[in-house]
Structure formats: structure tokens, C-alpha cells
């Protein structure tokens, strides 16, 4: 085994925090932590290789407070992935980009930060699935 099977972000409270679990029999190989200085209870990043292609996996747990969520997504826009890497972002975004598809019966204020999240999606050339 040449890589770890789990990665955990730091968190100062009993709640919050993110983790990545790696399937030892899966397609992702050569996993490594990436930019650990940026890790906190809301974000962590690892790189891995799938069939010779480098990927940057970003796991997020966006703040539930609207103002903090906006700042979080604004800070994410400063992330500069490795040039050769494909970016995959997953987690709990605490807002949605498409209310008509992703939400039923919630308050509009729940999606504060969606504009900033959309900027992140566009910057990294992502597809919302």
C-alpha cells in the first residue's frame, strides 16, 4: 500500500470537519494531501491518479451561516489547482445552483452564496450533476 486510506481535516469543535475515505480496491491510486495549509473544518483537498490522469479531489462542508458561506466560496476562488489536474468537488454546499431541480419547498435565503458557488464552478470548469 503506497497511500493512506483516509484523510481528515482539523476542526476546533465537536461538530464540523470533513474527511476522504479511499477504497483500497478502487480506481484512485497514489493519493496525497494537497495544500494542507488551506485545510480547515470546511475544506480539504487530496490528489490522486486514475488511469494515469491526475485529479484534485476537494471535499467541502460549507458554513451554514449565510455570511460565512459567501466568504467561504469567495476564498475557494483563490485555489489554484495543479495545471494538469482535473478537479472534482463534492460535499455539503449548504445551497444549490438550480432550485427547480435540487430543492423542494425551502426558503430562498437557504441559497445565499449560490452566486459565489457558481463562480467557483465556472472558474474550475465544473459540471453540476
128 in a structural domain: no
Spatial distance between the Cα atoms of 25 and 104, rounded to a whole number of angstroms = 37
Q: Domains in the chain: how many in total?
A: 1
Spatial distance between the Cα atoms of 82 and 30, rounded to a whole number of angstroms = 15
Question: Per-residue pLDDT tens for 30-71?
Answer: 999 999 999 999 999 999 999 999 999 999 999 999 999 999
The distance from CA 85 to its chain's CA centroid, rounded to whole angstroms, is 15
Q: Please report which confidence band the pLDDT of residue 106 belongs to, taking 50, 70 and 90 as the band edges.
A: low
Residue 36 domain boundaries: 6-123
* Torsion of the alpha carbons at 49, 25, 60 and 103, rounded to the nearest 10: 120
Residue 13 CB neighbour total at 10 angstroms: 7
1 in a structural domain: no
CATH code where residue 82 lies: 3.60.10.10
Spatial distance between the Cα atoms of 48 and 97, rounded to a whole number of angstroms = 27
Q: Is the pLDDT of residue 14 over 80?
A: no
Q: Is the pLDDT of residue 74 over 70?
A: yes
Q: Please report which confidence band the pLDDT of residue 4 belongs to, taking 50, 70 and 90 as the band edges.
A: confident
* Torsion of the alpha carbons at 97, 98, 103 and 108, rounded to the nearest 10: 70
Which range is least confidently modeled, 7-11, 13-17, 45-49? 13-17
49 strand-pairing partners: 29, 54
Amino acid at each position: 500500500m503506497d497511500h493512506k486510506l483516509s484523510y481528515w481535516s482539523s476542526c476546533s469543535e465537536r461538530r464540523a470537519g470533513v474527511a476522504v475515505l479511499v477504497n483500497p480496491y478502487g480506481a484512485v491510486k497514489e493519493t496525497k494531501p494537497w495544500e494542507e495549509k488551506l485545510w480547515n473544518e470546511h475544506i480539504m483537498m487530496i490528489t490522486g491518479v486514475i488511469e494515469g490522469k491526475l485529479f484534485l479531489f476537494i471535499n467541502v462542508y460549507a458554513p451554514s451561516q449565510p455570511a460565512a458561506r459567501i466568504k467561504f466560496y469567495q476564498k475557494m476562488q483563490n485555489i489554484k489547482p495543479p495545471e494538469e489536474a482535473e478537479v472534482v468537488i463534492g460535499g455539503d454546499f449548504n445551497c444549490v445552483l438550480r432550485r427547480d431541480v435540487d430543492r423542494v419547498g425551502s426558503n430562498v435565503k437557504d441559497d445565499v452564496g449560490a452566486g459565489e458557488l457558481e463562480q467557483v464552478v465556472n472558474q474550475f470548469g465544473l459540471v453540476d450533476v
